[in-house]
């Protein structure tokens, strides 16, 4: 009886393993089938767009940029197809993908087949990604635990802080971006909702703009308790770096006493990289970085970019791409003029209580 029971158990275990293998192979096969379908759609799209591209048109010195992980491949395939369909299939700009670990051959080969322009894959230097030795690890981890307990989004994640610090102070220093003037940040799970009929890079250049955005929102105050005070210390130390006609009244509601929490949502930004390469921005980042706030708190790159832009640029150098429909969960922006969009204009409501666009338009003199 004991031997019979053992045989039955072994048979059951074998059936479980076989079933798991069948299910796993099915899931993988289905994902590969979906990717193949996407590739065929893109090939047809590229053939169509080849007839629409004017080879004599001016193409800017620009690139798209995405930070990615190997595990995000399926999401990135969908994102790339979306951006190629709505924008880049026509203009064929290069695309740079960066990772804090080496990209797999599967990742590189798959993405290379989907992009209409050149594609480059790079690894982020460890010294720019890792937590600095100057950070008190025990103090930092205690802060992460406290934020996680309070339910603050990404409050307990070290990797999120590393990403925010990298986007705040290092991304433009990667050798793959050295030769470019403009960049468009593209998140792996973002989505364009409109056909882009004007080259945004060309718009920046022709309008003499430095930075372009779509969405403005308020930051979570609990993630940046000391950011504004640290910024004011910097301003007192380097008052000569402030632009005379800046957006001070947008980022501070009471002449500098407090931060309004308003910021450009930097998961979508189209910018002149020379701003981040500037002496003013580098000094500001270094000052913030030395305080440890990226790890002792949860400083995001969005408020840091936005405060710097608002202090160091003339307000006329910032541009609202109001005709670009964009989605990055949980926020959607849809233009009022949405003839070439697949979204609802209600999402562009200026009266959203968490939006800062109405005040921005007032301060910038556009409303």
Residues acting as catalytic residues: 269
Residue 197's contacts (CB-CB under 8 Å, 6 or more residues apart) are 340
Q: What phi and psi, each to the nearest 5 degrees, are found at residue 150?
A: -85, 0
Rounded to whole angstroms, how far apart are CA atoms 222 and 20? 44
Rounded to whole angstroms, how far apart are CA atoms 59 and 199? 9
**For helices 158-169 and 301-312, angle between their N-to-C axes, nearest 10 degrees:** 20
Rounded to whole angstroms, how far apart are CA atoms 180 and 61? 5
Looking up tokens 């190997």 gives 70
């Amino acid at each position: 009886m004991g031997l019979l029971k053992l045989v039955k158990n072994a048979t059951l275990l074998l059936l479980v393993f076989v079933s798991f293998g069948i299910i796993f192979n099915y899931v993988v096969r289905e994902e590969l089938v979906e990717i193949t379908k996407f590739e065929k759609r893109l090939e047809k799209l590229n053939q169509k767009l080849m007839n629409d591209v004017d080879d004599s048109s001016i193409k800017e010195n620009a690139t798209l940029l995405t930070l990615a992980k190997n595990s995000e491949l399926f999401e990135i395939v969908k994102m790339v197809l979306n951006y190629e369909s709505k924008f880049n299939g026509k203009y064929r700009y290069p695309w740079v993908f960066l990772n804090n670990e080496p990209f797999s051959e599967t990742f590189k080969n798959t993405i290379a087949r989907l992009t209409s322009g050149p594609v480059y894959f790079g690894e982020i230097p460890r010294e720019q990604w890792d937590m600095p030795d100057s950070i008190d690890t025990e103090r930092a981890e205690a802060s992460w635990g406290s934020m996680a307990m309070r339910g603050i989004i990404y409050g307990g994640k070290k990797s999120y802080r590393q990403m925010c610090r990298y986007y705040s102070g290092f991304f433009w220093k990667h050798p793959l971006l050295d030769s470019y003037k403009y960049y468009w940040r593209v998140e792996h799970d973002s989505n364009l909702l409109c056909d882009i009929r004007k080259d945004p890079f060309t718009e920046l250049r022709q309008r003499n703009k430095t930075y372009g955005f779509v969405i403005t929102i308020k930051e979570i105050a609990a993630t940046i308790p000391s950011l504004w005070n640290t910024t004011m210390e910097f301003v007192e130390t380097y008052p000569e770096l402030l632009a005379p006609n800046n957006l001070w009244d947008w980022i501070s509601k009471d002449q500098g006493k407090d931060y309004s929490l308003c910021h450009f949502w930097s998961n979508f930004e189209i910018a002149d990289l020379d701003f981040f390469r500037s002496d003013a921005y580098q000094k500001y980042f270094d000052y913030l970085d030395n305080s440890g706030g990226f790890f002792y708190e949860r400083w995001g790159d969005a408020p840091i970019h936005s405060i710097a832009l608002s202090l160091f640029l003339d307000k006329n150098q910032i541009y609202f791409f109001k005709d670009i429909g964009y989605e990055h969960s949980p926020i959607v922006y849809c233009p009022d003029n949405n003839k070439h969009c697949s979204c609802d204009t209600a999402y562009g409501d200026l009266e959203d209580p968490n939006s800062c666009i109405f005040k921005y338009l007032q301060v910038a003199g556009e409303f």
